[in-house]
């Protein structure tokens, strides 16, 4: 059966991003930060004896830097570990330094660790051209292209040759004398980002006319940290919503391995298939310094303890389990139709994560134009605070078809289950000539499965710490912190492409968007909504992006090792969720792609012959892209996880126990016996590893490297268990080349350089 693998795989020597059938084009590049660092044993400590973590942070910063800064509002205290994560943004001459970040991890009046990418050079005096830009990124890619036959010419043309030529042609035709105009910055960026070559040519030819038809309004806020108002640009062709633009500084590296500041327009550009955070020079709008696409893909290679409110919500019992409905689905843990049969599953929901169930939403947070709810129009229910729905619509997820592949989604089709919430729909794919149409015949099932899997992921990740304060996705946060209004918009059978999936992660308070595609890999075509691993992978982009660098910063995992790990965490957690007590190797995406080896180069395996990936593997041809980088990181995590299972055993469920009637959480067979003043610790290896990985995302800095993420996992164990797994973790990492002596020489922001495997462990592990 394809869902289990034990044999070695054939390597797939093609770049995923270059070969996806989806037509989505994506730009991801930006400056290297040679002075950035992650410190897990700070020598500087707070000079103030204090218990308030924010006082500790201010005292630490007073001793650490003379720079101006502000503490971001998305800082929070982790309910699981008790660590307060304080996010700090640097300011120079009243302007934000967009990549001048510090994250301080504080507990018991002590700074446990910190990440730092503050600028420490002289204040800017001129407007010289930055050394890092779209053009320099493409120059580096050209070198890679010459040395790697697997690099796709079409990919290079789409992200480099044609965009750079369009910007050059437009610059020659640009007769405007106001280079500081944010409209110009936005239009030049669109020339580089737009996927349609004909539209780009039209925009280039009519550049000045397009500028004249674009309008700018300015947002002025009573309070805030911006020295200048935000410009709101309307009328930019290719953008589906007005573009927000504001002037900030960004760091770019110098020839002396330091950084310098450049004034740029920070643009938020939402397009049909992309959502960009882009930085364009404020003095030369033809220079695009950095771009992060908040949308992440999963393409196919070609075949070659509760607070009072929580306890009250948990005990409210608005939707008893027996009346919450039923779903006929491939239940949690079954990866795809070849791994098991569908079954009728009660509409279980975690009482802490989803206290009102999956189909209830507060009236005040329900989007305008929503489906009808139970008792709508009944005057006895007009003042009810909560609305109950009988379709795939609720506080965590809005799921629907999106056959047209558009952004207008509220009125799209959803299955209707009636007042009994009986989601039981037929599945009978048949071969036909209209193979691309066939999945539409079981759209009710597809949307139901997507809704079910997405809610299970929400509830699982919540119990491991991805809650409201840390930036999870919910319409109503129940007053538990964070910004609400951001349930996941989940599109089944999205019509914007084939053989792919993607997830857009804007900052906290804006809806995440998941698009699942049909796969033209078999007859009849297959539906990615039915492969849980792909759905879990995509939703994990939301987890890792919101946790790394804080909920308000979606630009920390854009490219290089950081972007790669964003892919790797998705694969690792999807694989862990489908794993069983009896060990097996697993592929990724094998059912949808109709390939036993899946959509990665190797299956995930502890056998180094079956999967030979080590840190050094990143030097191989084809490993510059984020998906290839990600599978190396996922393999390393899989190996480390098995070390933890060998020591602590395996839990058949990843879900912690439900709270008792008094609101306390029992230890059961899931947690160790509770120690006074200490966090609850999962007792089994697989559950503990999931906790460490998710906790580490909160500890690591923005734009982490493999080394940073490794160190954060080891520190997470120190925070949670007192470091009792220190040597086991190091043994796992070092066995795949990520030991204490591993290093990288000459790396670029998006990859490259020479990686050296290190197999050494800390001295205390040799005693």
Beta carbons within 10 angstroms of residue 92's beta carbon: 19
Taking 90 as the threshold, does the pLDDT of residue 699 lie above it?
Answer: yes
Tell me what pLDDT residue 750 has. Answer: 58
What lies within 8 Å, CB to CB, of 305 at 6+ separation is 664, 665, 680
Both tokens of 762, joined, read 């800390």
541 is in an annotated binding site: yes
| Highest averaged pLDDT of the listed ranges 129-133, 734-738, 751-755 | 734-738
pTM for the structure as a whole: 0.87
The more confidently predicted of residues 421 and 144 is 421
Q: Which residue has the tokens 């495997």?
A: 757
Both tokens of 77, joined, read 């205290």
Q: What are the residue numbers of the active site?
A: 538
pLDDT tens, residue by residue, 156-185: 555 565 555 655 555 555 555 555 788 989
Region 392-410: mean pLDDT is 93
What separation in angstroms does the CA of 168 have from each of 186, 204, 262, 480, 729? 15, 9, 21, 50, 51
350 is in an annotated binding site: no
3-class DSSP assignment, residue 38: strand
Q: What is the Cα–Cα distance from 648 to 632, expressed in whole angstroms?
A: 25
3-class DSSP assignment, residue 534: helix
pLDDT-derived band at 395, boundaries 50, 70, 90: very high
Q: Tell me, which fold does domain 326-454+477-556 have in CATH?
A: Elastase; domain 1 (3.10.170)
Beta carbons within 10 angstroms of residue 590's beta carbon: 24
How long, in residues, is the chain?
767
Q: What is the Cα–Cα distance from 639 to 610, expressed in whole angstroms?
A: 13
Taking 70 as the threshold, does the pLDDT of residue 242 lie above it?
Answer: yes
Phi, psi of 5 (to 5 degrees): -135, 140
Q: What is the Cα–Cα distance from 580 to 578, expressed in whole angstroms?
A: 7
Tell me what pLDDT residue 181 has. Answer: 84
Residue 393 has what DSSP assignment?
Answer: B
Q: What's the angle, vertex CA 502, arms to CA 500 and CA 507, rounded to 5?
A: 175
Region 534-542: mean pLDDT is 96
Average pLDDT value over all residues in the chain:
84
537 is in an annotated binding site: yes
**Sequence spans of domains, the chain:** 37-116, 134-292, 326-454+477-556, 615-765
Nearest in space to 451 (alpha carbons), one of 329, 567, 369: 329
Q: What is the Cα–Cα distance from 232 to 245, expressed in whole angstroms?
A: 6
pLDDT-derived band at 732, boundaries 50, 70, 90: very high
Query: Contact, 228 vs 247, CB < 8 A?
Result: yes
What separation in angstroms does the CA of 514 have from each of 423, 502, 693? 21, 6, 23
Beta carbons within 10 angstroms of residue 447's beta carbon: 28
pLDDT-derived band at 11, boundaries 50, 70, 90: very low
404 is in an annotated binding site: no
Region 726-738: mean pLDDT is 97
Query: Contact, 556 vs 574, CB < 8 A?
Result: no
Taking 70 as the threshold, does the pLDDT of residue 355 lie above it?
Answer: yes
Both tokens of 610, joined, read 């079956």
3-class DSSP assignment, residue 281: strand
Cross-strand partners of 38: 115
Q: What is the Cα–Cα distance from 253 to 257, expressed in whole angstroms?
A: 6
**Which of 57-61, 255-259, 639-643 has the least mean pLDDT?**
255-259
Q: What is the Cα–Cα distance from 604 to 571, expressed in whole angstroms?
A: 9
Taking 80 as the threshold, does the pLDDT of residue 666 lie above it?
Answer: yes
Q: Is 40 exposed, middle or buried (0-12, 13-18, 19+ CB in 10 A)?
A: middle
What kind of architecture, by CATH, is found in domain 615-765? Orthogonal Bundle (1.10)
Q: What is the Cα–Cα distance from 470 to 332, expressed in whole angstroms?
A: 25
* Strands 422-423 vs 326-329: parallel, antiparallel or unpaired: parallel
Q: What is the Cα–Cα distance from 742 to 754, expressed in whole angstroms?
A: 11
**Which of 14-18, 154-158, 269-273, 623-627 has the least mean pLDDT?**
14-18
pLDDT-derived band at 17, boundaries 50, 70, 90: very low
Tell me what pLDDT residue 178 has. Answer: 59
pLDDT tens, residue by residue, 294-330: 887 766 544 334 444 444 444 444 444 435 679 999 9
Q: Which residue has the tokens 């349930």?
A: 487
Q: What is the Cα–Cα distance from 295 to 626, expressed in whole angstroms?
A: 13
């Amino acid at each position: 059966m394809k869902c289990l693998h034990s044999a070695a795989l054939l390597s797939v020597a093609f770049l995923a991003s270059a070969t996806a059938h989806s037509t989505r084009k994506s730009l991801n590049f930006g400056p290297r930060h040679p002075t950035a660092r992650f410190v897990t044993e700070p020598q500087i400590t707070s000079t103030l004896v204090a218990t308030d973590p924010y006082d500790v942070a201010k005292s630490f910063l007073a001793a650490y830097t003379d720079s101006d800064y502000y503490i971001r509002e998305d800082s929070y205290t982790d309910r699981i570990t008790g660590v307060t994560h304080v996010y700090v943004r640097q300011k120079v001459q009243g302007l934000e330094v967009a990549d001048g970040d510090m994250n301080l991890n504080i507990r018991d009046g002590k700074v446990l660790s910190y990440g730092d990418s503050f600028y420490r050079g002289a204040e800017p005096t001129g407007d010289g051209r930055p050394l890092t830009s779209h053009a320099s990124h493409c120059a580096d890619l050209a070198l890679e292209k010459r040395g790697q036959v697997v690099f796709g010419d079409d990919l290079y043309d789409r992200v480099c040759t044609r965009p750079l030529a369009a910007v050059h042609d437009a610059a020659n035709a640009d007769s405007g004398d106001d280079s500081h105009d944010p409209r110009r910055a936005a239009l030049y960026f669109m020339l580089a980002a737009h996927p349609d070559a004909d539209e780009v040519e039209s925009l280039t030819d009519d550049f000045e006319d397009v500028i004249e038809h674009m309008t700018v309004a300015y947002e002025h806020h009573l309070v805030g940290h911006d020295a200048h108002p935000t410009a709101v640009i309307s009328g930019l062709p290719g953008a589906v919503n007005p573009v927000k633009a504001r002037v900030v500084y960004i760091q770019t590296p110098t020839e002396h391995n330091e950084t310098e500041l450049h004034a740029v327009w920070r643009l938020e550009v939402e397009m049909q298939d992309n959502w960009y955070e882009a930085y364009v020079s404020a003095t030369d709008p033809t220079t695009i310094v950095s771009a992060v696409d908040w949308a992440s893909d999963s393409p196919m290679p070609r075949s070659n303890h509760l607070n009072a409110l929580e306890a009250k919500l948990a005990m409210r019992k608005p939707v008893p389990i027996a009346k919450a409905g039923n779903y006929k689905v491939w239940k949690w843990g079954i990866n795809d139709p070849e791994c098991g049969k569908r079954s009728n599953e009660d509409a279980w929901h975690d009482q802490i994560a989803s206290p009102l169930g999956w189909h209830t939403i507060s009236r005040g947070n329900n989007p305008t134009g929503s489906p009808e709810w139970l008792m709508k129009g009944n005057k006895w229910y007009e003042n009810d605070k909560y609305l109950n729905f009988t379709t795939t619509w609720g506080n965590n997820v809005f799921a629907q078809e999106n056959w047209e592949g558009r952004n207008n989604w509220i009125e799209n089709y959803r299955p209707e289950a009636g007042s009994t919430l009986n989601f039981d729909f037929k599945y009978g794919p048949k071969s036909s000539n209209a193979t691309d149409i066939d999945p539409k015949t079981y759209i009710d099932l597809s949307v139901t499965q997507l809704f079910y899997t997405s809610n299970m992921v929400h509830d699982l990740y919540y119990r491991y710490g991805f809650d409201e304060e840390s930036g999870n996705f919910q319409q109503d946060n129940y007053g538990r912190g964070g910004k609400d209004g951001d349930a996941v918009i989940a599109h089944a059978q999205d019509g914007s492409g084939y053989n792919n999936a993607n997830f857009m992660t804007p900052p906290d308070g804006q809806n995440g968007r998941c698009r699942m595609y049909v796969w033209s890999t078999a007859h009849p075509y297959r539906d990615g909504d039915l492969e849980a691993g792909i759905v879990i992978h995509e939703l994990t982009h939301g987890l890792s992006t919101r946790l790394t660098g804080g909920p308000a910063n979606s630009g920390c995992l854009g490219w290089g090792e950081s972007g790669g790990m964003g892919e790797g965490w998705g694969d690792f957690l999807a694989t862990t969720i489908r794993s069983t007590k009896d060990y097996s190797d697993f592929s990724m995406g094998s059912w949808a792609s109709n390939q036993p080896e899946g959509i990665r180069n190797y299956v995930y395996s502890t056998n180094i012959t079956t999967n030979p990936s080590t840190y050094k593997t990143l030097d191989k041809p084809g490993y510059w892209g984020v998906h290839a980088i990600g599978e190396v990181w996922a393999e390393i995590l899989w190996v480390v996880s098995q070390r933890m299972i060998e020591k602590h055993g395996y839990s058949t469920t990843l879900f912690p126990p439900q709270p008792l009637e008094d609101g306390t959480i029992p230890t059961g067979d899931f947690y160790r016996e509770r120690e006074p003043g200490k966090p609850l610790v999962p007792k089994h290896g697989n559950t503990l590893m999931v906790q460490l990985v998710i906790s580490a995302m909160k500890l690591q800095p923005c734009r982490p490297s493999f080394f940073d993420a490794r160190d954060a996992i080891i520190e997470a164990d120190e925070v949670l268990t007192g470091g009792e797994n220190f040597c086991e973790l190091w043994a796992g990492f070092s066995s795949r080349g990520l030991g204490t002596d591993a290093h990288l020489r000459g790396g670029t922001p998006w990859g490259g350089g020479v990686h050296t495997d290190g197999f050494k462990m800390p001295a205390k592990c040799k005693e």
